[in-house]
Structures are given as structure tokens and as C-alpha cells.
Amino acid sequence: MNTSVTLLAGGVGGARLAHGFARALDALTCVVNVGDDTERHGLHVSPDLDTVMYTLAEMNDEERGWGLTGESYATLTQLERLGEDTWFTLGDKDLATHVVRTARLRSGEPLSAVTAGLAGALAVTARLLPVTDDPVRTRITTPSGELEFQEYFVRRQHADAVLDLAFDGIEDARPAPGVLDAVTGADLLVVAPSNPFLSVEPVLGVPGVREAVRSTAARRVAVSPIVGGRALKGPAAQVLESLGHDVSALGVARLYAGLVDVMVIDAADEALAEPVRDLGLEVLVTDTIMGGPDGRERLARELLALA
């Protein structure tokens, strides 16, 4: 199929939909959040980029949703013995990605070039772009104080209420080479069923990206990450709630109204189609729960039909 698709993505939800598109067409560009990038043991880790990359390479651990299949943890066990904090799980194979990324970043390559090299080595044919080569770091204000993103997400298992969010560095971040063109030049622009605040906002918030989404001639579609009032994965429901939004596909639609043309909601939320239409959005009601590769491809093809 010749339609070109650009997907704005966070981690798991974005990765699964990216996989569906990659099976359906050639011209896929994923613009990925880097707000949850972190440094562990001196290594630069890009969890969302890696989840999308590993999923596209069909090497990811489908059960956990992150990391690689068939992982071992010999290095992590030894890191612990050497006195390192090891609450952030890093597998032996996964570590190779971070070691190479770190070495290439330190040698002066931008993250986008490093990402292209890694994805190419893993035979990923979709284009994988960090939204920016500049550092953006998500910080979460909770009742227990301000937390670095992975501290909130992994160490404390996103159990804290999110009172506020900040994306350090985002005002000065420039879109990575290719990002704006990918948004303005696509036939179909898709906001993945990723966390609107933790994954999508730090993509849209990079200066120029939201404006490109507003001005693109592409058909613009967002998929709700909330189904039946719950998030399929991760803390999207809690974050919406604690920031004062409806925990529903309607609450998500309100966030994207004015930015996208079509809201995709799950069949379980059919009753919300009318109020979403009242926001001025078209609505596609379908099965949004992607199971395995076939389900991902089916959803991707339904979205392609909207273009």
C-alpha cells in the first residue's frame, strides 16, 4: 500500500500499533517520546524507542510488553553485587543496545542517527525517530514530592497520584531531523493509544510539533488508550483522574479535540460516540484491543481506510 503513515507513539500501545502498520504498509514513520529516557549505570536508556524498535523487530517480550525475549540477567546480578541500584531491570541483550547507544552519543552522534543505526542493525524497515535529539526529561509531582519519571514509573510502579507534570528541556528542544516533514508530509497521522500526558504530550510539546499536527494536510486520527473507563496498560486512568479529567474515551477525546479529525474508540465505549461527535470529531467505533500481530494489523488497516 502506498499510503504514508506517521505515528506519534509512546511505549507499548504505540509499539503494538506500529507493528500493525509495519505489517500493512512500507511507508511508516514512528515519532517517539523520549521524555522517559534515563541514565542507568551511566548508560543512556530510551525505553519508548526501544519498546517500539524491539516490537518492530519482533524481538520484544510480548508477555511483559517491554524488553527482549529470552533475556538473561547476568550483568544485572553482577551490577547488584558491585553495589549498584538495580530496581530498573536491564537484560543482558537489552544492555547491548544501551552500551552502543551511549558510546555513539558520546562520540557525538545525535540520538536520531544512533536510533537509525540500531534499528537498521535489527532489520527494522520502518523509520524510527526520536521526537527530538535534545534532552527532554519528564518529572512527576506526587504527594510524596517530585520524582524522575522512571522513579515514578518503575521503582514506585506508578502508584503515586500525579499532581503535576513537567518536561524539563522541552522549551529548548528542536524536533529531530525528519520529524516535522513526517508530520506534514504524511497521508495519515495517527496518535497512538499511548498515555496522553506521559507519552503523547512530550511529543506534541516539542516546539513545532503541535503546530505541524495542526497544519498538516494529513488525515489525523487518535486512538483512545482508555477502554471501558480503564487503561489497557499503565497509569493512563490514574493520571487522567488525578489531573481532573474524565477517565473515559470522552475525556481523551476532549484532550485531542481541535488537533485530530477522527477519534477511534472501542466498541465497549459505543455509548460515548455521540458525545465525542459533539466535540466536532468524527468517530470510528471498533475493536481497539490489539491482541497479537493479526489484531494489530486489523486495527492498522481500519485506520488506513480512514485516510
Where do contacts with its own copies occur on this chain (CB under 8 A)?
41-43, 71-72, 74-79, 81-84, 91-93, 95-97, 99-100, 102-104, 106-107, 117-118, 121-122
Nearest 10 degrees: CA dihedral of 142, 193, 246, 236? Answer: -20
Task: For CA atoms 215, 217, 218, 220, give the dihedral sign.
Answer: positive
- State the nearest-atom distance from the C-beta of 14 to its own copies, in Å: 22
Residue closer to its own copies by CB (options 78, 157) is 78
What would the grid cell of residue 168 be?
Answer: 524539563
Residue closer to its own copies by CB (options 100, 257) is 100
N-term to C-term CA, the chain: 12
Distances in Å between the alpha carbon of 2 and those of 187, 207, 307? 9, 29, 11
241: three-class secondary structure by DSSP: helix
Distances in Å between the alpha carbon of 68 and those of 20, 64, 115? 19, 9, 17
Residue closer to its own copies by CB (options 96, 217) is 96
Residue closer to its own copies by CB (options 119, 273) is 119
Single-letter code of the amino acid located at 172: D
- State the nearest-atom distance from the C-beta of 265 to its own copies, in Å: 39
Kindly report the number of other CB atoms within 10 A of residue 145's CB atom.
8
* 146 CA to centre of own chain: 22
Residue closer to its own copies by CB (options 77, 215) is 77
- State the nearest-atom distance from the C-beta of 69 to its own copies, in Å: 12
- State the nearest-atom distance from the C-beta of 51 to its own copies, in Å: 16
Residue closer to its own copies by CB (options 125, 215) is 125
Residue closer to its own copies by CB (options 121, 163) is 121
Nearest residue to 286 (alpha-carbon basis) of 307, 267, 269: 267
Q: Give the C-alpha separation, 179 to 30, whole Å.
A: 9
Q: Give the C-alpha separation, 163 to 178, whole Å.
A: 34
- State the nearest-atom distance from the C-beta of 48 to its own copies, in Å: 19
